[in-house]
């Protein structure tokens, strides 16, 4: 896939290990990079972000081929694998760094994300209001190397078993027509 054929999308939905593992299941996704966005400190560390003082969220930046998997497909996966009604928390993780957010790269992504949220709200998809923020991506900082492909490198780590595997199963079941053929389902 060449740069002209690929696009990027950036999402925050709790721990980046889990969201990364979910998006890596999709055909047409060539890379998922864990990182930080939405804060005020330049090039923050994991420890700084975890302190809750930088304003950053743990995010994943998804590089994808729009002719294979569309931005609306990515939004559908995103809103399926995390709780967009939980303010500043996902599962056991609490704090602004675990907020739900779509960091748009252009006006088309902004409009698509806002429209998707409006459609979910109109359909009554969730019992509580969606709190997902939709904001421009001003800077993306790649997380430390040990965070990249974390689930792939640590599939038996208890946090991954409890938190990432259910997200992976959900993607593989609900979006079976969009999943990479060579990806194995966690048992």
Helix-, strand-, coil-residue percentages of the chain, each rounded to 5: 40, 20, 40
**Is 50 noted as a catalytic residue in this protein?**
no
Q: Give the chain's radius of gyration (CA, Å).
A: 15
Tokens, residue 158: 């208890």
Q: Which of 147, 114, 104, 150 is nearest to 7 (CA)?
A: 104
Is residue 11 a contact partner of residue 29, using CB atoms and an 8 Å limit?
Answer: no
- The CA distance from 7 to 11, in Å, is 14
Instruction: Find the catalytic residue in 15, 18, 50, 160.
Output: 15
| Beta-ladder partners of 8 | 63
Q: Which residues are catalytic?
A: 15
């Amino acid at each position: 896939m060449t740069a002209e054929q690929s696009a990027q999308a950036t999402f925050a939905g709790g721990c980046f290990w889990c969201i990364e593992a979910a998006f890596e299941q999709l055909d047409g996704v060539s890379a998922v990079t864990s990182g930080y966005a939405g804060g005020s400190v330049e090039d923050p560390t994991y420890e700084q972000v975890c302190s809750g003082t930088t304003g950053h969220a743990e995010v994943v930046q998804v590089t994808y081929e729009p002719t294979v998997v569309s931005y609306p497909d990515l939004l559908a996966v995103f809103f399926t694998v995390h709780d967009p009604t939980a303010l500043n928390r996902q599962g056991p993780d609490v704090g602004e760094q675990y907020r739900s957010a779509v960091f748009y790269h252009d006006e088309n992504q902004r409009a698509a994300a806002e429209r998707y949220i409006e459609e979910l709200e109109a359909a009554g998809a969730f019992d509580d209001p969606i709190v997902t923020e939709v904001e421009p991506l001003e800077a993306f900082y790649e997380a430390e190397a040990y965070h990249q492909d974390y689930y792939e490198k640590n599939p038996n780590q208890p946090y991954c078993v409890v938190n990432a595997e259910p997200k992976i199963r959900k993607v593989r079941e609900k979006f079976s027509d969009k999943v990479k053929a060579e990806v194995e389902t966690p048992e």
